[in-house]
Chain A
Amino acid sequence: MARDDSLMERFEQHGLSRFRARDAVWAVLLVSTLLVVLAGDSARRAGEQMNPGIGRDLVLLVGKPAGAIADALPFARLADKATAWASPDEALNGQGSFATLAASPAGIPPVTPDAFTPAQLGTKPPAPRPLKRVLVTGDSMSTPLDTSVARALAGTGVKVTREPHLGSGISKSFLVDWGELSSTQVRKLHPDAVVVFIGANEGFPFERDGREIKCCGAPWAAEYANRVRAMMNTYRADGRARVYWVKLPTVRSKPRSAIGRVVNAAIDVAAEPWKSQVRVIDTIATFTPNGYRDAMEIDGQDTIVRQPDGIHFNDAGSAYLARIVLDRVRQDFAVER
């Protein structure tokens, strides 16, 4: 085991404690000033991305003037250009952006054959086709579901791509525009099946025609449904792919559950035009039939299925949800077991 070698004197020994406290304060203020001039907009953006509350107000109190200073000077743009090479984010080209969604489509939207499932019409379903590529995406809800899906399909020859975008939301397009992102994902990956699980960070106001639509009345639900519908349309790739959109389970926090209810209603409405291609997977009946619970019976055994935050599924819950999702996938695709 270790000797007592905490080396508390190490800074004295090397003569490093030779500066004054005011040097420390000035040095940190110099760093702060340089960062305001070179990247003040980051502080403003960070504040705008935070959930409403005192923390957001305080960050914006500093972030707004910092952003204004950075905007007024040319250095931030230069710094942006100089460091662009280091960004790990994929550039989105604007295609499919929510900003381009029509506010109110003219005329009566036509009903297409894709709105009906063979079961509804009493016709024979098409033979399952081979599954080659699956994309599992969404916000933090999609993980560890993505891992569970990938594990369940390991060794079947199906390529599973996991693309969680933590902290993002369909109503948070200032962080990630899911309209653009879904277009990019489809263009890059050409998935046969897309599993989407998103909704932990919703409830942010939308802006439409210069006015704010606050959560969670019918106007907000309609805007949310339009965005979800646009994403479903992108993911279904003109009918070449199938979409498995997982609805939110009840969460422990009541205000969050209220948002979840509206999100789930919007998902149902959004999927209406493509019932044969977009499968909406309910989680409430399975996981929270009588309200939030941490544990449930799986294969005859009481099992904790939620993470301590009362929002996300843990590994056991995700593995069970993956079974439900993959059972649905297997109705559409031939997958080796």
Chain B
Amino acid sequence: MLFPTVQFAIFFPIVLALSWALMPRQALWKPFIIVASYVFYACANPKFALLLGGVTLGNQAAAVLIHRTGSETRRKWILGVTVALDLGVLAVFKYYAFFVQSFADGLDDVGLTFPLPLLTIALPVGVSFFTFQAISYVVDVKRRLVAPASTVDVAVYLSFFPHLVAGPIVRAREFLPQLAAPRDPNRVAVGSGLALVGLGLVKKVVIADYLARTVVDPVFAVPQSYSAPDAWLAAYAYTAQIYCDFSGYTDIAIGLALLMGYVFPQNFRSPYRSLGFRDFWRRWHMTLSRFLRDFLYIPLGGNRKGKWKTYRNLFLTMLLGGLWHGAAWTFVLWGAFHGLGLCLEHAFSRHWERVWKWLRWLITFHLVVFGWILFRSQSLDEAGHMLAQLASPGAATLWSAPVVAAIVVVIGLQLLPSRGVENFQIRIERLRPAVIAGGLAILILIVGATVPSQGVAPFIYFRF
């Protein structure tokens, strides 16, 4: 079920009202929210609900086993097998076709043929997110950062519908404590919840989809047909689109959870005002950055084993982070590019920090835009075409005031002093809920009118 649909608009008020009605009786609330979340998930494909259930039970069994085991070696083994199984789920559903096709192509290139089962497997929505959350739970139990929760609590944690399909990646130690007692019905951030839902809808449906339809999709489909002005516009437009699409989804998810009394971690903090790659990853998809840092970079050794191993760890972390986004060489290259950027920034940090701030911003921003070209392109060839077109003289055919305005607003707002924007947001979120609700209804009407007859495009991160 997509958030910006009539189905969800019917689903959510019913679930919200019942959720608060049942909240004082946790023995009823928890099964109810699990059923509601599974209904939400099964709308995409009921079979995938079985996978979610399997991942939940498998990881819970492992967590309990780890907790009960005294021997550190055995705990490590159980954890290793569990993480391998979780990654196996990802490998089968997400990467099977990619790896087998790449392997077959590789064999073919050296003149060998081997009959490989070339199959496509339907990708369960959100599999990358709930397997990562499951891994975080088991690892945190192994590290004794959390005690194993009840199976029901783990099922709520992994299936809770606001974060189920595209994050944010909520850590067990952030969410499970919120399940320990009923949420306080007198301390709900209603204004923030409603405002975030409205903001997310505008970002996704109005800005992201508009930029995709008018500029990004046409140019990235056939870059050869466009010259430099349009190629640059498409690159900037995609930079704005992907931020609005993903942070829009996150805003809605956080807003819905708030209305239900739960808090999710922040996932974005004005990423396009970054002054370097490190800064960028502290602001972009923050919950993934934390996951990669805590479960990949640090276990690899982090920065504790010398300069070169730090670079290796940074590079590997980002390379795998790139691959997490999708089964394609363009994502791998995107990850490698960011990994290289982080390594260079580490190596030359003293020099880099002496550069004027505005120049650091300009360079970082354009390197990020370059990365998005790799990320958005369907293949390495297409990325090459797109990059070549950035230097191909010709006329601007897609430039229009609304497109330029949308890009400038999305990127420009992030460059404003954050205190001012935050204060404005807080002032709105403090308004009476009825006032915000009225505004939200009008906003939804206008947003709904901007949706083409074929409906809302799926969120970009649904694929990951």
- Using a CB–CB distance below 8 Å, which chain A residues touch chain B? 1-8, 10-11, 14-32, 34-35, 38-39, 42-43, 46-47, 55, 58-59, 62-63, 79, 83-89, 144, 146-147, 150-151, 154-155, 160, 162, 165-168, 175-176, 294-295, 300-304, 306-310, 314-315
In contact, A166 and B454 (Cβ under 8 angstroms) = yes
Q: A34-B438, A306-B120 are in contact. Are A46 and B191 (CB under 8 A)?
A: no
Most buried by B among A6, A8, A47: A6
Contact at B297–A84, with CB atoms within 8 Å? no
Is the Cβ of B286 less than 8 Å from the Cβ of A27?
no
Which of B27-35, B97-105, B367-375, B404-412 forms contacts with chain A? B97-105
Chain B residue numbers with a CB within 8 Å of A32 are 9, 13
A59-B9 Cα distance, complex, nearest whole Å: 10
State the Cβ distance, A197 to closest chain B Cβ, in Å.
15
Whether B445 pairs with A11 at a CB distance below 8 angstroms is no
Q: Is the CB of B297 within 8 A of A1?
A: yes
- In the complex formed, the residue of B with least CB distance to A14 is B426
Show 17 A/B contacts (Cβ-Cβ < 8 Å), sorted by A. Answer: A1-B297, A5-B282, A8-B174, A14-B426, A19-B189, A19-B191, A24-B193, A26-B433, A27-B190, A29-B17, A38-B441, A144-B378, A147-B221, A295-B119, A304-B97, A306-B120, A309-B122
Residues of A within 8 Å of B13, CB to CB, are 25, 28-29, 32
Assembly CA distance A28 to B18 (angstroms): 13
Contact stretch, chosen from B75-83, B146-154, B157-165, B256-264: B256-264
Residues of B with C-beta under 8 A to A310: 120, 122
Q: Give Cα A29 to B259, complex, Å.
A: 12
Chain A's closest residue to B226 (CB) is A154
CA distance A175 to B451 in the complex (A): 13
Contact B188 A19, beta carbon cutoff 8 Å: yes
CB atoms of A16 and B263 under 8 A apart: no
In the bound assembly, the distance between CA atoms of A4 and B173 in angstroms comes to 13
The main secondary structure of chain B at its interface with chain A is helix
* Stretch in contact with the other chain, from B59-67, B228-236, B288-296, B355-363: B288-296
Whole-angstrom CA separation of A215 from B449 in the bound complex: 32
| Cα-based distance from A18 to B105 in the complex (angstroms) | 59
A160, B434: Cβ atoms under 8 Å?
A: no
Interface contact B261-A21, CB-CB below 8 Å: yes
> Given A21-B23, A88-B450, A4 and B191 touching (CB < 8 A)?
no
| Cβ A5 vs Cβ B191 within 8 A | no
Interface string of B97-138 (1 = CB under 8 A from A): 100010011001000000110111111000000000000000
Give the residues in chain B near A162, CB-CB below 8 Å: 218, 221
A304 x B281 contact (CB < 8 A): no
Neighbouring B residues of A15 by C-beta, 8 Å: 430
CA distance in complex: A274, B314 (Å): 63
1/0 per residue, CB under 8 A from A, across B418-436: the answer is 0000000010011001101
Q: Bound state CA distance, A58 and B10, in angstroms?
A: 9
Residues of B within 8 A of A22 (CB): 20, 185
Shortest Cβ distance from B224 into chain A, in angstroms? 4
Kindly list chain A residues whose C-beta atoms are within 8 Å of the C-beta of B378: 144, 147, 315
A-side contacts of B289, CB under 8 Å: 1-2
Contact A88 B282 (CB under 8 A): no
* B433 neighbours in A (Cβ, 8 Å): 19, 23-24, 26-27
A222 vs B412: C-alpha distance when bound (angstroms) = 56
Determine the distance from Cα of A4 to Cα of B265 in the docked complex, in whole angstroms: 10
Nearest opposing residue in chain B for A19, CB measure:
B190
Q: Which of A24, A31, A144, A303 contacts B188 (CB 8 A)?
A: A24
A7–B265 touching, CB < 8 Å: yes
Determine the chain B residues whose CB is within 8 A of the CB of A168 once the complex forms.
Answer: 453-454
Question: How far apart sit A43 and B5, CA to CA, in the bound complex (Å)?
Answer: 9
